[in-house]
Amino acid sequence: MLSEEKILNVLKDIKDPDLHKSIVETGGVREIKIKEEKGHVSLKIALARTGTAEQMHVQQKVVQAVKGAGAESVGLRFDQLTEEEVKKHGGSEGTEEKKGPSLLSKDSETEFILITSGKGGVGKSTVSVNLATALAREGKKVGLIDADIYGFSVPDMMGIDTRPTVKGQTIFPVERFGVKVISMGFFVEDNAPVIWRGPMLGKMLNNFFNEVEWGELDYLILDLPPGTGDVALDLHTMLPESKEIIVTTPHATAAFVAARAGAMAIKTNHEILGVIENMAYFESKLTGEKEFVFGQGGGDRLAEELKTELLGRIPLGQPEIDEDDFAPSMYDTDHPIGKIYMQIAKRLIEKVGK
Ligand SMILES: Nc1ncnc2c1ncn2[C@@H]1O[C@H](COP(=O)(O)OP(=O)(O)OP(=O)(O)O)[C@@H](O)[C@H]1O
């Protein structure tokens, strides 16, 4: 029998890494929900700091402990203790501002490229992973942050089944196809949906810049959540120098919605590198004839409106699936779509001059 008492009992041995006190004592166990029939326990745990290397340790310990108490599966979400709580338990306010050499520092040479879209489902994540990989194939040092917290899909798309390694305070990104990857998905257990308050997301992202050992990077690609929400805004302020690529489908309405994302980039003085039109057409293998399944002209219109260029048109098409090295959304360099990504990467390098 699972009970709240039993779970609290195993959790009391786990400490908040910053406060050095039990997460039960700090009031960090925010929620325990038990689904007895499924043997599932979902928990919400608040820590003094989130998005850190230590959070990963806590995550592992919690899952282990709760499974030890009889749960078959554990869903885990993290939250942040309030400032009052942190102070009350002896934490100092400044703990989250730990600054080492950071990608955010003034003399950082890294180009930040935000991939945005007006709405979901247009292929923003697909474009992010393939563009990052194409840049790496061009010999660039590339990092990729999957900041689409509502639907982190990058690890699945790239076929990543490992987690970052953690040494002391530092998180080492997972490397795949020559790209260093960090995903919000690495920080939640069992794909539990992530429901975080706006400010938390910003902190998490800030930690991704400061606590992840990226090494030297030429490009850091960020896959943003669709639209112009909190995270997008946070990033705009956090990365004043970053540049943007806007992904749209060829449909007129999609382009119209994407224009709003572009308008925000302009307002925050982010340079728009260009527009990528995804799902632009379907090309028959037999006749070579193009069918404009989702309409036509959206990408051109958007580029014109934002006074930027159309970097490329990507048709509909599935990657070849390699069962031995499964990465369901990655196009090879010899795939027609893979070739288009290489052209876009080349154009980008030329444009950014890096
Ligand atoms: N050119 C394409 N041809 C065929 N399928 C595609 C193409 N681009 C994307 N897809 C598919 O469309 C779906 C949505 O793509 P993706 O997840 O990249 O979109 P997204 O804009 O990041 O969505 P969300 O914002 O909801 O995460 C996926 O199943 C993806 O495999």
Domains located in the chain, CATH noted: 4-91 (3.30.300.130), 111-352 (3.40.50.300)
CA distance 106 to 73: 44
- Asked if 303 and 309 count as a contact pair (C-beta separation under 8 A), the reply is yes
Question: Which stretches in the chain have pLDDT values below 50?
Answer: 94-100
CA of 150 to the centre of ligand 1 (A): 14
Residue ranges of the annotated binding site are: 118-125
Query: For position 135, what pLDDT does the model report?
Result: 98
- Ligand 1 atom at shortest distance from the alpha carbon of 278: 1
Residue ranges of the annotated binding site for ATP are: 118-125
Query: For position 244, what pLDDT does the model report?
Result: 93
Phi (first) and psi of residue 238, to 5 degrees? -70, -35
Does ligand 1 come within 6 angstroms of the Cβ of 151? yes
pTM of the model: 0.76
CA distance 48 to 82: 8
For 104-132, the DSSP string reads TSTT--PEEEEEEESSTTSSHHHHHHHHH
CA distance 258 to 275: 10
CA of 258 to the centre of ligand 1 (A): 15
Q: pLDDT digit string (tens) for 212-240?
A: 999 989 999 999 877 656 666 677 777 87
Does ligand 1 come within 6 angstroms of the Cβ of 183? no
Q: Whose CA is nearest to atom 10 of ligand 1?
A: 123
Query: For position 99, what pLDDT does the model report?
Result: 36
Pocket test for ligand 1, best of 115, 117, 125, 126 (most atoms within 8 A of CB): 126
Query: For position 192, what pLDDT does the model report?
Result: 54
- Ligand 1 atom at shortest distance from the alpha carbon of 126: 18
Those residues with Cβ within 8 angstroms of residue 66's Cβ, 6 or more apart along the chain or in another chain = 7, 10, 11, 41, 43, 74
CA distance 226 to 232: 8
CA of 237 to the centre of ligand 1 (A): 27
